[in-house]
Amino acid sequence: MNFPFYIARRYLFSKKSTHVINIISGISVVGVAVATMALVVTLSVFNGFHDLVASFFTQMDPQLKVVPIKGKTAASDDPILQKIRHLPEVEVATECLEDQALAVYGSRQMMVRVKGVEDNFDSLTHIREVIEGDGEFALHAADMNYGIPGLGIAYQLGLGYTYQNPLKIYAPRREGQLNLANPTDGFVEDELYSPGVVFCIKQSKYDKQYILTSLSFAQQIFDQEGRLSSLELRLRPGSDFERVKELMNQLAAGRFHVYDRYEQQDDTFRIMKVEKLMAYIFLTFILVIACFNIIGSISMLIIDKRNDVVTLSNLGAKDYQIIRIFLFEGRLISFMGAVIGILLGLLLCWLQQQYGLVRLGSSEGSFVVDAYPVSVHPWDVVVVFFTVVAVGFLSVWYPVRYFARRLLSNNR
């Protein structure tokens, strides 16, 4: 066995448990363990919120979305789009057209985004899982177009789940000048009827802005016949997602962007990543402070073991070997704190997942979830372990060398 490591282990696990240095060393281990546990739990909570938000967006966002790089729309029969939608890995392809419009119901009005989709939109997304009301998901009937508003729009316009009167939609004409004598001539007007449902994704980006309707209605109201703003896709189960996405980017030939679900909500997930990084940096700073306990305990150990140092030196131990004894002592404290802290953090995460120990709000139903969501990612655990070990090793390197060398020089 490595001689310095053996001595360091004997010092740390000395049976004289009442010795003040052993108590301080134990406190150092506890301090590192608590900081490590906080890192594991906090990062896992951020992962839980990330996964929760991602699950909301999957209700409306497609697996892949193809949008034109130049301009807001593209021809539906564009050869590139036809090649993409007919790839063997594509199971569902839906043409979509969306733009801003004015919605008016009675005396209330607000700006909305009208999104026209094809009839297979419910096969592309999980929209049926988030509709509320006594009706059913439908975009049109024989001679009328339906509009399915988000819950926030329904509330602001006073629609309810089923609105009795038609919802008026106004969109500016693409061509021609505005007639100041009769401004209404500058707008295309049409009506939407209620299918008896609204959708609720619990994301204000959709619930307070979007109205779903048929593609033909959107093309007519926005004067975009035969055009689309996006082609939304779902792949067959078992498809190599990254390979198919790369193939689509090659087919796009610089004319279209191909976005996955995370890229479609890039701003939201980028902010969440920054928040998680800031939490990691802040808790690492706390870990650095906790490591000062290690420095204190090692310094006291060096002073307490000065007679042992003289004995070891007389027995032929080299200076670097004696220094390594105390370096190993600090590293053992860091390692033990890291392992104990990670195990405690994983245990707390498991308890939170199973029993929801820490709850959101005082009553059930106050929030989207009743307890803080937790998701443990193995890579985060690895990062935490190496962070704790690295901070612990670096924090004791200079103090140990400094105090040990002074002790050795005084003993000569």
State residue 168 phi and psi, 5-degree precision: -85, 135
Cα 277 off chain centre by: 11
326 Cβ neighbours under 8 A, 6+ residues apart: 8, 298, 301, 302, 396, 400, 403, 404
Residue appearing with tokens 């104990």? 340
**CA pair distance 194, 71, nearest whole angstrom:** 32
Contact (Cβ atoms closer than 8 angstroms) between residue 275 and residue 46: yes
pLDDT tens by residue, 259-297: 999 899 888 889 999 999 999 999 999 888 888 877 777
Q: In this structure, are residues 8 and 325 in contact, taking their beta carbons and an 8 Å threshold?
A: yes
Token pair 């282990």: residue: 9
Which residues have C-beta within 8 Å of that of residue 98, sequence separation ≥ 6? 113, 114, 115, 116, 210, 218, 229, 230
Q: Three-state DSSP class for 258?
A: strand
Span 111-138, pLDDT tens digits: 999 999 999 999 999 899 899 999 999 9
Q: Are 356 and 350 in contact (CB under 8 A)?
A: no
The C-alpha atoms of residue 28 and residue 296 are separated, in whole angstroms, by 9
* Integer Cα distance of 325 and 172 in angstroms: 79
The amino acid sitting at 63 is: Q
pLDDT given at position 18: 46
Task: Quote the pTM value.
Answer: 0.79
* Three-class SS state of 303: helix
Residue type (1 letter), 97: L
Q: What is the pLDDT along the chain (412 residues), one digit of tens a residue?
A: 576 767 777 766 665 544 666 777 788 889 899 999 999 999 999 999 989 888 888 778 899 999 999 989 999 999 999 999 999 999 999 999 999 999 999 999 999 999 999 999 999 998 998 999 999 999 998 889 999 999 999 999 999 899 889 999 999 887 766 565 555 677 889 999 999 999 998 888 899 999 999 999 999 999 999 999 999 999 999 999 999 999 999 999 889 999 999 899 888 889 999 999 999 999 999 888 888 877 777 777 777 766 766 676 666 667 667 777 777 888 888 899 999 999 999 999 999 999 888 888 666 655 677 889 999 999 999 999 999 999 988 888 777 776 666 665 655 5
Q: Which residue has the tokens 């363990």?
A: 33
Q: Strands 210-214 and 108-117, how do they pair?
A: parallel
Beta carbons within 10 angstroms of residue 359's beta carbon: 15
SS3 372: coil
**Domain boundaries defined on the chain:** 3-57+269-410, 64-264
